[in-house]
Amino acid sequence: MRTVSALALSSAFLLALAVLSPLPAKSQDVPGARYNAAQRLEFPANYREWIFLSAGRGMTYGPAADPNGPPQFDNVFVHPAAYRHFTKTGRWPEQSIFILEIRKAQSEGSINKGGQFQTDVTAVEVLVKDSKRFADTKGWGFFEFGTNRQPAAKLPPTASCYDCHAKNAAVEHTFVQFYPTLLPVATAHKTMKASAAH
């Protein structure tokens, strides 16, 4: 009976495991990048629940920069799993995914009579680190989503973003020099390129 009891114990434990585990997947626990059968990136619909890195306005180097148009805001988000890894190591793990969201700026509205606040989205750009999938572009893939937010193919290696990020981004392909909470992390871990300081 000892054998049977041990088996029963074991079964009960496995049952408990089955009931209680794996933990229910939360948005921040699942990979941020999903691809359809045609290998196009699905729009990461819940990116506004990821970690905010910073916002700028009218920055001149971005893909949406338009010297003839009114300055817009840009917001940058990163998947929580990638953020947590970076805060510990100063480096980005495989599958890291970043969002650059561009929004219109409005000056007067409600009680605000000066400065600018954010309104409608005008563009969403996505950057993913995946050394195997994007081997032909140094392990990083850029994507642009239109207003219809349909799955997007990776931008070709000739797109200007690849060369600009490779040359100017502070840590790997990311502009950590503009993310004030990550800059000290990269500095402490000595993962920032010296050329990117400001």
Rounded to whole angstroms, the Cα distance separating 9 from 101 reads: 53
x/- letters, 102..121, toward a copy of itself (CB under 8 A): -x-xx-xxxxxxxxxxxxxx
Contact yes or no for 56/73 (Cβ under 8 A): yes
Sequential DSSP letters for 49-74: GSEEEEEEES-SSSTT--TTSPP-EE
Query: Which of 95, 75, 86 shows the shortest CA–CA distance to 187?
Result: 86
The binder of a copy of itself chosen from 32, 33, 41, 73 (CB under 8 A): 73
Cβ contacts of 148 within 8 Å, gap of 6 or more: none
Site for a copy of itself contains 93 (CB under 8 A): no
Cβ contacts of 121 within 8 Å, gap of 6 or more: 101, 102, 103
**Cα torsion angle, 149, 152, 154, 156, sign:** negative
The binder of a copy of itself chosen from 43, 75, 126, 174 (CB under 8 A): 75
Rounded to whole angstroms, the Cα distance separating 61 from 175 reads: 11
Site for a copy of itself contains 68 (CB under 8 A): no
**What residues between 143 and 172 interact with a copy of itself by CB under 8 A?**
164, 168, 170
Least separation, in Å, of the C-beta of 119 and a copy of itself? 6
The binder of a copy of itself chosen from 143, 177, 185, 186 (CB under 8 A): 177
The binder of a copy of itself chosen from 30, 31, 57, 147 (CB under 8 A): 57
| Positions that interact with a copy of itself (CB under 8 A) | 1, 4-5, 8-13, 15-17, 20-21, 23, 48-49, 51-52, 54-61, 71, 73, 75, 77, 80, 83, 103, 105-106, 108-121, 164, 168, 170, 175, 177-178, 180-181, 196-198
